[in-house]
Amino acid sequence: MNDEELIEKTLAGDKEAFGLLALKYKDRVYNLALPIVGNKEDALDVVQDTFMQALAHLENFRRSSRFYTWLYRIAYNTAVGALRKRKRKPRASLEYLNEEYGDCFEAQGDAPDDDAKRRDDAAILRRELAKLSEEYRTPLILREVEGANYEQIAEILNVPVGTVRSRLHRARIALRERLERAGLKM
Amino acid sequence: MKENIWKEELVDAYVDDECSSHERAIVEALLREDAEAKNAADWALRLRELMAHTREETPPDFSQRLTTAIAESDAWQNYGVSRARSTTRERANRGKWIPTAVGATAAALAFVAFGLAYHSLRVERPAPTGDSTIAHEGVKDAPNSGIAYEHEPARPSIQTPASAGSPLSIEERPASQEARWATVRIADATEHRRLNNLIQRFGAKFDVDFMKFDANRELLFQGITPQAWRELRQTLEASGELEISDALQAWSADGAESERCDVRVTITFANPETNE
**B94 at A interface, C-beta within 8 A:** no
Give the CATH number for residue A112. 1.10.10.10
Q: Do A164 and A99 lie in a common domain?
A: yes
Per-residue confidence (pLDDT) for residue B175, from 0 to 100:
47
pLDDT bucket at A153, cuts 50 / 70 / 90: very high
pLDDT digits (tens, 9 = 90+) for A110-129: 445 677 777 778 788 888 88
Cβ-defined contact of A122 to B167 (cutoff 8 Å): no
Shared domain check, A99 and A186 = yes
Instruction: Flag if B223 and A176 touch (Cβ within 8 Å).
Output: no
Q: Which residues in chain A are contacts of B5 at CB distance < 8 A?
A: 169
pLDDT digits (tens, 9 = 90+) for A11-20: 999 999 999 9
pLDDT (tens digit per residue) in B76-120: 887 765 444 444 444 455 555 555 656 666 666 666 666 566 555
What is the total count of domains within chain A?
2
* CA gap B255, B249 in Å, rounded: 10
The mean per-residue pLDDT over the stretch B251-257 comes to 78
Cα B269 vs. chain centroid, distance in angstroms? 27
Whether residues A81 and A131 fall in one domain:
no
| CATH code, domain carrying A47 | 1.10.1740.10
Closest partner CB to A34 (pick from B56, B143, B160): B56
Q: Say if CB B199 and CB B210 are below 8 A apart.
A: yes
Contact B262, B224 (CB under 8 A): yes
Confidence at residue B156, expressed as pLDDT on a 0 to 100 scale: 37
Domain boundary among A40, A64, A90: A90
Answer yes or no: do A76 and A116 share one domain: no
A58 and A31 fall within a common domain: yes
Contacts of A30 (CB under 8 A, 6+ apart): A43, A44, A47, B56, B57, B58
A186–B47 C-beta distance less than 8 A: yes
Cβ–Cβ gap A165/B9 under 8 Å = yes
Range of the domain at A10: 1-90
pTM: 0.54
Q: What is the pLDDT of residue B3?
A: 64
Would you call B204 an interface residue with chain A, using a CB distance cutoff of 8 Å?
Answer: yes
Which chain B residues in 117-176 lie under 8 Å from chain A, judged by CB atoms?
142-143, 145-147, 149-150, 156-161, 164, 167
Q: Are A148 and B51 in contact (CB under 8 A)?
A: no
* Residue A36 pLDDT exceeds 70: yes
pLDDT digits 0-9 by tens, A127-142: 888 888 889 999 999 9
pLDDT given at position B203: 80
- Give how far A92 is from chain B: nearest CA, Å: 15
Per CB-CB distance under 8 Å, the chain A contacts of B73 are 52, 55-56
Q: Are residues A19 and A104 in the same domain?
A: no
Chain B, window 23-62: residues with a beta carbon less than 8 angstroms from a chain A beta carbon: 43-44, 46-48, 50-59, 62
Statement to judge: residues A7 and A85 lie in one domain: yes
User: How many Cα atoms sit within 13 Å of B39 on the Cβ side?
Assistant: 6
A118 with A134, same domain? Answer: yes
**Domain closes at, from A90, A108, A140:** A90
| Chain A residues with CB-CB distance to B207 below 8 A | 66
Which chain A residues have a beta carbon less than 8 Å from that of B156? Answer: 16
Mean pLDDT of A65-75: 89
- What pLDDT was estimated at residue B86? 45
The pLDDT of residue B162 is: 37
Contact B58 A14 (CB under 8 A): no
**Overall average pLDDT of the B15-36 stretch:** 91
Q: How confident is the model at residue B274 (pLDDT cuts 50, 70, 90)?
A: very low
Q: Summarize pLDDT for A159-169 with one digit per residue, the tens.
A: 999 999 999 99
Contacts of A145 in chain B (CB under 8 A): 51-52, 54-55, 197
Mean pLDDT of A140-163: 91
Closest CA to A30 of A134, A108, A145, A179: A145
Q: Average pLDDT in the A177-183 region?
A: 89
CA distance A65 to chain B (A): 12
pLDDT digits (tens, 9 = 90+) for B170-225: 444 444 445 688 889 888 777 887 788 788 778 877 777 777 776 678 888 888 88
B222 near A CB under 8 A:
yes
A180 and A102 in a single domain? The answer is yes
Calculate the alpha carbon distances from B236 to A34, A82, A90, B194 in Å: 29, 39, 38, 11
Same domain (yes/no): A102, A186: yes
Q: How far is B216 from chain A (nearest CA, A)?
A: 12
What does the pLDDT read at residue B60?
Answer: 92
Please tell me whether residues A96 and A86 are part of one structural domain.
no
**ipTM summary value:** 0.80
Does residue A164 share a domain with residue A130? Answer: yes
Say if B207 is an interface residue toward chain A (CB within 8 Å): yes
Q: Which of A90, A115, A135 is the last residue of a domain?
A: A90
Which residue of A51, A146, A186 is in closest CB contact with B43?
A: A186
Interface contact B18, partner A, CB < 8 A:
yes
Amino acid making up residue A23? L
